[in-house]
Amino acid sequence: MDWQISEDTVPSSPVTEADARSLLGRPPVTGAWRDGDPVGHRSFAAFDEFRTDAGGRLPAFRLAYESWGQLNEARDNAVLILHALTGDSHVRGDAGPGHPTAGWWEEIVGPGAAIDTDQWFVIAPNILGGCQGSTGPSSIGPDGREWGSRFPYLTVRDQVRAQRRLADRLGIDRFAAVVGGSMGGMHALEWAIETPERVARLAVLSSPPVNTADQIALNSVQLEAIAIDPAFQGGDYYDSGAGEGPHRGLALARRMALLNYRSPSELNQRFGRSWQSSVSPIGDDGRFAVESYLDFHGNKFTRRFDANSYRILVGAMDSHDVGRDRGGVEDALARVTATTLVLGIDSDRLFPIDGQHRIARGIRNTLDGDRAVVLSSDFGHDGFLIETSAVGAHLRRLLDAPA
Protein backbone atom coordinates (compact mmCIF):
# COMPACT_ATOMS: atom_id res chain seq x y z
CA MET A 1 0.00 0.00 0.00
CA ASP A 2 1.30 3.50 -0.82
CA TRP A 3 1.73 6.02 1.97
CA GLN A 4 2.26 9.77 2.13
CA ILE A 5 5.02 11.69 3.87
CA SER A 6 4.15 15.30 4.58
CA GLU A 7 6.68 18.02 5.27
CA ASP A 8 5.75 17.86 8.95
CA THR A 9 6.94 14.26 9.23
CA VAL A 10 10.42 15.01 7.84
CA PRO A 11 12.53 16.26 10.77
CA SER A 12 14.52 19.44 10.32
CA SER A 13 16.93 21.47 12.41
CA PRO A 14 18.43 24.94 12.10
CA VAL A 15 22.02 23.66 11.81
CA THR A 16 22.65 20.25 10.33
CA GLU A 17 25.69 18.03 10.57
CA ALA A 18 26.46 19.02 7.00
CA ASP A 19 26.28 22.71 7.92
CA ALA A 20 28.55 22.17 10.89
CA ARG A 21 31.17 20.40 8.79
CA SER A 22 30.98 23.19 6.21
CA LEU A 23 31.59 25.77 8.94
CA LEU A 24 34.80 23.92 9.71
CA GLY A 25 35.85 24.35 6.09
CA ARG A 26 35.53 20.67 5.26
CA PRO A 27 32.91 19.30 2.88
CA PRO A 28 30.52 16.63 4.14
CA VAL A 29 30.98 13.06 3.00
CA THR A 30 28.21 13.71 0.48
CA GLY A 31 26.54 16.84 -0.87
CA ALA A 32 23.17 15.07 -0.80
CA TRP A 33 20.13 16.34 1.03
CA ARG A 34 19.62 14.02 3.99
CA ASP A 35 16.78 13.41 6.43
CA GLY A 36 17.23 15.97 9.18
CA ASP A 37 18.37 18.71 6.81
CA PRO A 38 16.02 21.69 6.33
CA VAL A 39 13.10 20.74 4.11
CA GLY A 40 12.99 24.01 2.20
CA HIS A 41 10.12 24.09 -0.30
CA ARG A 42 10.05 20.34 -0.90
CA SER A 43 7.03 18.11 -0.59
CA PHE A 44 7.44 14.35 -0.38
CA ALA A 45 5.50 11.34 -1.61
CA ALA A 46 6.45 7.82 -0.58
CA PHE A 47 5.54 4.61 -2.38
CA ASP A 48 5.83 0.88 -1.95
CA GLU A 49 7.90 -1.67 -3.87
CA PHE A 50 9.59 -0.68 -7.13
CA ARG A 51 11.04 -3.15 -9.64
CA THR A 52 13.59 -1.89 -12.16
CA ASP A 53 14.08 -2.74 -15.83
CA ALA A 54 17.32 -4.54 -15.01
CA GLY A 55 15.81 -6.73 -12.30
CA GLY A 56 16.67 -4.60 -9.29
CA ARG A 57 14.31 -3.90 -6.42
CA LEU A 58 13.58 -1.10 -3.98
CA PRO A 59 11.23 -2.19 -1.19
CA ALA A 60 9.98 1.40 -1.02
CA PHE A 61 10.98 4.77 -2.44
CA ARG A 62 10.30 8.46 -2.04
CA LEU A 63 10.13 11.32 -4.52
CA ALA A 64 10.71 14.91 -3.50
CA TYR A 65 8.97 17.55 -5.56
CA GLU A 66 8.07 21.22 -5.61
CA SER A 67 4.99 22.90 -7.05
CA TRP A 68 3.75 26.36 -7.92
CA GLY A 69 0.32 27.67 -8.85
CA GLN A 70 -3.01 25.97 -8.28
CA LEU A 71 -4.50 22.84 -9.80
CA ASN A 72 -7.87 23.78 -11.26
CA GLU A 73 -11.13 21.95 -10.65
CA ALA A 74 -10.88 20.09 -13.96
CA ARG A 75 -7.30 19.06 -13.07
CA ASP A 76 -6.22 19.83 -16.64
CA ASN A 77 -3.80 22.73 -16.12
CA ALA A 78 -0.80 20.77 -14.78
CA VAL A 79 2.65 21.24 -16.32
CA LEU A 80 5.39 18.75 -15.49
CA ILE A 81 8.97 20.09 -15.59
CA LEU A 82 11.76 17.52 -15.65
CA HIS A 83 15.28 18.54 -14.70
CA ALA A 84 18.68 17.83 -16.23
CA LEU A 85 21.31 15.40 -14.95
CA THR A 86 22.54 17.46 -12.00
CA GLY A 87 19.44 19.59 -11.55
CA ASP A 88 16.72 19.15 -8.95
CA SER A 89 13.17 20.17 -8.11
CA HIS A 90 14.12 23.75 -7.19
CA VAL A 91 13.04 25.38 -10.43
CA ARG A 92 12.39 28.74 -8.79
CA GLY A 93 13.10 30.28 -5.41
CA ASP A 94 16.09 31.49 -3.46
CA ALA A 95 18.98 29.48 -2.15
CA GLY A 96 18.77 29.00 1.58
CA PRO A 97 17.95 26.40 4.21
CA GLY A 98 17.22 23.18 2.35
CA HIS A 99 18.25 24.49 -1.09
CA PRO A 100 21.98 24.81 -1.83
CA THR A 101 21.33 26.81 -5.03
CA ALA A 102 18.73 29.25 -6.30
CA GLY A 103 16.05 28.21 -8.78
CA TRP A 104 17.54 27.10 -12.09
CA TRP A 105 14.73 28.41 -14.36
CA GLU A 106 13.56 31.47 -12.44
CA GLU A 107 13.05 33.51 -15.60
CA ILE A 108 10.95 30.79 -17.28
CA VAL A 109 8.57 29.74 -14.48
CA GLY A 110 6.55 32.11 -12.33
CA PRO A 111 3.73 34.65 -12.29
CA GLY A 112 3.51 36.23 -15.74
CA ALA A 113 6.51 34.21 -17.01
CA ALA A 114 6.54 31.92 -20.06
CA ILE A 115 5.20 29.09 -17.90
CA ASP A 116 2.81 31.33 -16.02
CA THR A 117 2.03 30.01 -12.55
CA ASP A 118 -1.06 32.25 -12.45
CA GLN A 119 -2.43 29.97 -15.17
CA TRP A 120 -0.60 26.65 -14.83
CA PHE A 121 -0.03 24.29 -11.92
CA VAL A 122 3.67 23.44 -12.21
CA ILE A 123 5.23 20.32 -10.69
CA ALA A 124 8.95 19.53 -10.67
CA PRO A 125 10.11 16.24 -9.09
CA ASN A 126 13.65 15.30 -8.16
CA ILE A 127 14.28 12.12 -10.15
CA LEU A 128 14.61 8.69 -8.61
CA GLY A 129 18.28 8.02 -7.90
CA GLY A 130 18.92 11.71 -7.26
CA CYS A 131 20.20 13.30 -4.09
CA GLN A 132 17.94 16.20 -3.27
CA GLY A 133 15.19 14.45 -1.36
CA SER A 134 14.27 11.56 -3.64
CA THR A 135 15.47 8.03 -2.88
CA GLY A 136 19.00 7.48 -4.10
CA PRO A 137 22.24 5.78 -3.06
CA SER A 138 22.71 8.14 -0.11
CA SER A 139 19.27 7.26 1.27
CA ILE A 140 18.93 4.87 4.17
CA GLY A 141 18.09 1.32 3.14
CA PRO A 142 15.93 -1.22 4.99
CA ASP A 143 18.86 -2.29 7.16
CA GLY A 144 19.49 1.22 8.50
CA ARG A 145 22.55 1.84 6.31
CA GLU A 146 22.93 3.96 3.21
CA TRP A 147 22.28 2.06 0.00
CA GLY A 148 25.69 3.00 -1.41
CA SER A 149 27.01 0.40 -3.85
CA ARG A 150 23.90 -1.75 -3.35
CA PHE A 151 21.59 0.75 -5.04
CA PRO A 152 20.09 -0.82 -8.19
CA TYR A 153 20.88 0.26 -11.74
CA LEU A 154 18.17 2.59 -13.09
CA THR A 155 17.06 3.39 -16.61
CA VAL A 156 15.36 6.55 -17.86
CA ARG A 157 12.21 4.43 -18.20
CA ASP A 158 12.45 3.41 -14.53
CA GLN A 159 12.60 7.05 -13.51
CA VAL A 160 9.58 7.92 -15.65
CA ARG A 161 7.58 5.04 -14.14
CA ALA A 162 8.31 6.52 -10.72
CA GLN A 163 7.16 9.94 -11.94
CA ARG A 164 3.91 8.44 -13.21
CA ARG A 165 3.22 7.08 -9.75
CA LEU A 166 3.64 10.62 -8.41
CA ALA A 167 1.20 11.94 -11.04
CA ASP A 168 -1.29 9.24 -10.04
CA ARG A 169 -0.90 10.21 -6.40
CA LEU A 170 -1.63 13.84 -7.25
CA GLY A 171 -4.69 12.84 -9.28
CA ILE A 172 -3.34 14.11 -12.61
CA ASP A 173 -4.45 11.87 -15.46
CA ARG A 174 -3.19 14.10 -18.28
CA PHE A 175 -0.61 16.88 -18.29
CA ALA A 176 -1.29 20.06 -20.23
CA ALA A 177 2.44 19.94 -20.99
CA VAL A 178 5.52 17.91 -20.15
CA VAL A 179 8.70 19.95 -20.47
CA GLY A 180 12.28 18.69 -20.18
CA GLY A 181 15.77 19.76 -21.13
CA SER A 182 18.87 17.58 -21.55
CA MET A 183 18.29 14.45 -19.43
CA GLY A 184 14.88 15.91 -18.57
CA GLY A 185 14.12 15.86 -22.29
CA MET A 186 14.83 12.12 -22.29
CA HIS A 187 12.24 11.72 -19.55
CA ALA A 188 9.76 13.94 -21.40
CA LEU A 189 10.11 11.84 -24.55
CA GLU A 190 9.49 8.65 -22.59
CA TRP A 191 6.34 10.15 -21.09
CA ALA A 192 4.97 11.01 -24.54
CA ILE A 193 5.96 7.67 -26.12
CA GLU A 194 4.92 5.26 -23.38
CA THR A 195 1.72 7.04 -22.29
CA PRO A 196 0.73 9.39 -25.14
CA GLU A 197 -2.78 9.75 -23.73
CA ARG A 198 -1.33 11.51 -20.66
CA VAL A 199 0.59 14.25 -22.51
CA ALA A 200 -1.26 17.04 -24.34
CA ARG A 201 1.84 19.11 -25.19
CA LEU A 202 5.51 18.17 -25.18
CA ALA A 203 8.71 20.23 -25.08
CA VAL A 204 12.03 18.47 -25.76
CA LEU A 205 14.94 20.85 -25.30
CA SER A 206 18.58 20.01 -26.13
CA SER A 207 18.00 16.28 -25.86
CA PRO A 208 18.67 13.32 -28.22
CA PRO A 209 16.54 10.31 -29.17
CA VAL A 210 19.37 7.97 -28.11
CA ASN A 211 22.60 8.32 -26.19
CA THR A 212 25.29 7.70 -28.80
CA ALA A 213 28.63 5.92 -28.49
CA ASP A 214 30.35 9.32 -28.37
CA GLN A 215 28.17 10.45 -25.47
CA ILE A 216 28.61 7.16 -23.62
CA ALA A 217 32.37 7.48 -24.05
CA LEU A 218 32.35 10.99 -22.59
CA ASN A 219 30.35 9.70 -19.64
CA SER A 220 32.60 6.70 -19.07
CA VAL A 221 35.69 8.76 -18.29
CA GLN A 222 33.70 10.83 -15.78
CA LEU A 223 32.56 7.68 -14.00
CA GLU A 224 36.11 6.37 -13.94
CA ALA A 225 37.34 9.64 -12.41
CA ILE A 226 35.06 8.99 -9.44
CA ALA A 227 35.83 5.26 -9.20
CA ILE A 228 39.61 5.73 -9.02
CA ASP A 229 39.41 8.24 -6.16
CA PRO A 230 40.70 6.20 -3.17
CA ALA A 231 38.00 7.77 -0.99
CA PHE A 232 35.27 6.27 -3.20
CA GLN A 233 35.69 2.90 -1.46
CA GLY A 234 33.62 1.09 -4.03
CA GLY A 235 30.68 3.39 -3.33
CA ASP A 236 30.47 2.72 0.40
CA TYR A 237 32.06 5.89 1.75
CA TYR A 238 29.24 7.37 3.84
CA ASP A 239 30.54 6.26 7.23
CA SER A 240 34.16 7.14 6.48
CA GLY A 241 34.20 10.29 8.62
CA ALA A 242 34.00 14.07 8.21
CA GLY A 243 35.86 15.51 5.27
CA GLU A 244 36.18 12.20 3.47
CA GLY A 245 34.34 10.93 0.43
CA PRO A 246 35.39 10.99 -3.25
CA HIS A 247 35.38 14.79 -3.60
CA ARG A 248 38.42 14.93 -5.85
CA GLY A 249 37.02 12.35 -8.25
CA LEU A 250 33.58 13.96 -8.31
CA ALA A 251 35.05 17.42 -8.87
CA LEU A 252 37.14 16.08 -11.74
CA ALA A 253 34.07 14.44 -13.29
CA ARG A 254 32.23 17.75 -13.06
CA ARG A 255 35.10 19.61 -14.72
CA MET A 256 35.06 17.09 -17.57
CA ALA A 257 31.30 17.54 -17.95
CA LEU A 258 31.57 21.33 -18.05
CA LEU A 259 33.74 21.07 -21.14
CA ASN A 260 30.76 19.44 -22.87
CA TYR A 261 28.21 21.87 -21.47
CA ARG A 262 29.91 24.99 -22.81
CA SER A 263 31.13 25.74 -26.32
CA PRO A 264 34.74 26.30 -27.47
CA SER A 265 33.85 29.80 -28.69
CA GLU A 266 32.49 30.82 -25.29
CA LEU A 267 35.53 29.55 -23.38
CA ASN A 268 37.91 31.15 -25.86
CA GLN A 269 36.11 34.50 -25.83
CA ARG A 270 35.63 34.55 -22.09
CA PHE A 271 39.08 33.45 -20.95
CA GLY A 272 41.46 33.49 -23.90
CA ARG A 273 44.93 32.78 -22.58
CA SER A 274 44.59 35.01 -19.54
CA TRP A 275 46.27 34.10 -16.29
CA GLN A 276 44.53 33.74 -12.97
CA SER A 277 47.15 35.86 -11.16
CA SER A 278 50.39 37.69 -11.79
CA VAL A 279 52.34 34.42 -11.80
CA SER A 280 52.85 33.05 -15.30
CA PRO A 281 51.56 29.51 -15.96
CA ILE A 282 54.36 29.06 -18.50
CA GLY A 283 57.03 27.09 -16.68
CA ASP A 284 55.99 28.47 -13.32
CA ASP A 285 53.36 27.87 -10.65
CA GLY A 286 50.67 30.13 -12.10
CA ARG A 287 47.43 28.99 -13.66
CA PHE A 288 45.37 29.87 -16.68
CA ALA A 289 42.06 31.55 -15.81
CA VAL A 290 40.04 28.78 -17.47
CA GLU A 291 41.69 26.20 -15.18
CA SER A 292 40.59 28.13 -12.11
CA TYR A 293 37.08 28.44 -13.53
CA LEU A 294 36.82 24.66 -13.90
CA ASP A 295 38.28 24.08 -10.44
CA PHE A 296 35.83 26.49 -8.82
CA HIS A 297 32.79 24.84 -10.37
CA GLY A 298 34.08 21.33 -9.74
CA ASN A 299 34.70 22.00 -6.05
CA LYS A 300 31.40 23.87 -5.65
CA PHE A 301 29.55 20.92 -7.15
CA THR A 302 30.78 18.49 -4.48
CA ARG A 303 28.99 20.53 -1.82
CA ARG A 304 25.56 19.94 -3.34
CA PHE A 305 25.76 16.53 -5.02
CA ASP A 306 26.49 12.92 -4.19
CA ALA A 307 29.09 10.91 -6.10
CA ASN A 308 27.01 7.73 -6.12
CA SER A 309 23.98 9.60 -7.41
CA TYR A 310 26.12 11.03 -10.18
CA ARG A 311 27.12 7.53 -11.23
CA ILE A 312 23.54 6.20 -11.06
CA LEU A 313 22.13 9.12 -13.08
CA VAL A 314 24.88 9.00 -15.71
CA GLY A 315 24.20 5.28 -16.07
CA ALA A 316 20.51 6.00 -16.56
CA MET A 317 21.37 8.57 -19.22
CA ASP A 318 23.47 5.95 -21.02
CA SER A 319 20.40 3.66 -21.07
CA HIS A 320 18.47 6.21 -23.13
CA ASP A 321 17.23 4.79 -26.42
CA VAL A 322 13.59 5.49 -27.25
CA GLY A 323 13.68 2.74 -29.87
CA ARG A 324 14.72 -0.06 -27.51
CA ASP A 325 12.14 -2.89 -27.72
CA ARG A 326 9.86 -0.62 -29.78
CA GLY A 327 11.00 -1.38 -33.31
CA GLY A 328 13.56 1.43 -33.50
CA VAL A 329 13.67 5.18 -32.98
CA GLU A 330 11.26 6.18 -35.74
CA ASP A 331 8.60 3.65 -34.70
CA ALA A 332 8.87 4.88 -31.12
CA LEU A 333 8.59 8.57 -32.07
CA ALA A 334 5.54 7.81 -34.22
CA ARG A 335 3.67 6.93 -31.02
CA VAL A 336 3.75 10.56 -29.83
CA THR A 337 0.43 12.35 -30.24
CA ALA A 338 1.23 15.51 -28.24
CA THR A 339 1.61 18.92 -29.84
CA THR A 340 5.39 19.14 -29.68
CA LEU A 341 8.16 21.72 -29.51
CA VAL A 342 11.65 20.40 -30.28
CA LEU A 343 14.47 22.88 -29.64
CA GLY A 344 18.25 22.71 -29.81
CA ILE A 345 21.32 24.95 -29.59
CA ASP A 346 23.59 25.34 -32.62
CA SER A 347 26.79 25.22 -30.50
CA ASP A 348 25.76 22.19 -28.41
CA ARG A 349 28.59 19.67 -28.50
CA LEU A 350 27.06 17.33 -25.91
CA PHE A 351 23.79 16.67 -27.77
CA PRO A 352 24.31 18.08 -31.28
CA ILE A 353 21.40 19.50 -33.22
CA ASP A 354 21.09 16.52 -35.57
CA GLY A 355 19.52 14.58 -32.70
CA GLN A 356 16.81 17.20 -32.24
CA HIS A 357 16.12 17.25 -35.99
CA ARG A 358 15.68 13.47 -35.91
CA ILE A 359 13.12 13.81 -33.10
CA ALA A 360 11.24 16.51 -35.01
CA ARG A 361 11.13 14.38 -38.16
CA GLY A 362 9.72 11.43 -36.26
CA ILE A 363 6.90 13.20 -34.38
CA ARG A 364 3.85 13.91 -36.48
CA ASN A 365 2.48 16.98 -34.65
CA THR A 366 5.37 19.41 -34.14
CA LEU A 367 5.02 23.19 -34.10
CA ASP A 368 7.70 23.63 -36.76
CA GLY A 369 7.29 20.76 -39.19
CA ASP A 370 10.08 18.23 -39.52
CA ARG A 371 12.85 20.55 -38.31
CA ALA A 372 13.72 21.48 -34.74
CA VAL A 373 13.91 25.10 -33.65
CA VAL A 374 17.61 26.00 -33.59
CA LEU A 375 18.79 28.78 -31.29
CA SER A 376 22.08 30.47 -32.06
CA SER A 377 24.10 30.78 -28.86
CA ASP A 378 27.71 30.79 -27.74
CA PHE A 379 26.74 28.97 -24.53
CA GLY A 380 26.67 25.46 -25.98
CA HIS A 381 24.52 22.84 -24.30
CA ASP A 382 23.77 25.15 -21.36
CA GLY A 383 22.07 27.52 -23.78
CA PHE A 384 18.65 26.04 -22.96
CA LEU A 385 19.20 27.20 -19.36
CA ILE A 386 20.78 30.57 -20.20
CA GLU A 387 18.95 31.85 -23.30
CA THR A 388 15.78 32.27 -21.27
CA SER A 389 14.19 35.00 -23.39
CA ALA A 390 14.31 32.94 -26.58
CA VAL A 391 13.46 29.64 -24.90
CA GLY A 392 10.60 31.29 -23.04
CA ALA A 393 9.12 32.70 -26.25
CA HIS A 394 8.98 29.22 -27.80
CA LEU A 395 7.48 27.70 -24.66
CA ARG A 396 4.77 30.36 -24.77
CA ARG A 397 4.04 29.32 -28.35
CA LEU A 398 3.66 25.73 -27.25
CA LEU A 399 1.38 26.49 -24.30
CA ASP A 400 -0.78 28.73 -26.50
CA ALA A 401 -1.12 26.01 -29.16
CA PRO A 402 -4.19 23.75 -29.23
CA ALA A 403 -3.63 20.32 -27.70
Residues 11-27 have pLDDT tens digits of 222 333 333 333 334 56
Contact status, residue 172 vs residue 75, Cβ threshold 8 Å: yes
Q: Could you tell me the pTM of the whole model?
A: 0.92
* pLDDT cut 70: percent of the chain above it: 92
Give me the CATH code for the 3-212+322-400 domain, please. 3.40.50.1820
Rg (CA), the chain: 21
> What CA–CA distance (Å, rounded) separates 236 from 233?
6
**Active site amino acids:** 182, 348, 381
Q: Mind listing the pLDDT tens digit for each residue in 299-353? A: 999 999 999 999 999 999 999 999 999 999 999 999 999 999 999 999 999 999 9
Return the number of other C-beta atoms located less than 10 Å from residue 3's C-beta. 10
pLDDT single digits (tens) 82-137: 999 999 999 999 999 999 999 999 999 999 999 999 999 999 999 999 999 999 99
CA distance 330 to 320: 15
Taking the C-alpha atoms of residue 168 and residue 165, their distance in angstroms, rounded to an integer, is 5
C-alpha distances out from residue 81 to 76, 87, 92, 125, 126, Å: 15, 11, 12, 8, 10
Predicted local distance difference test score (pLDDT) of residue 171: 97
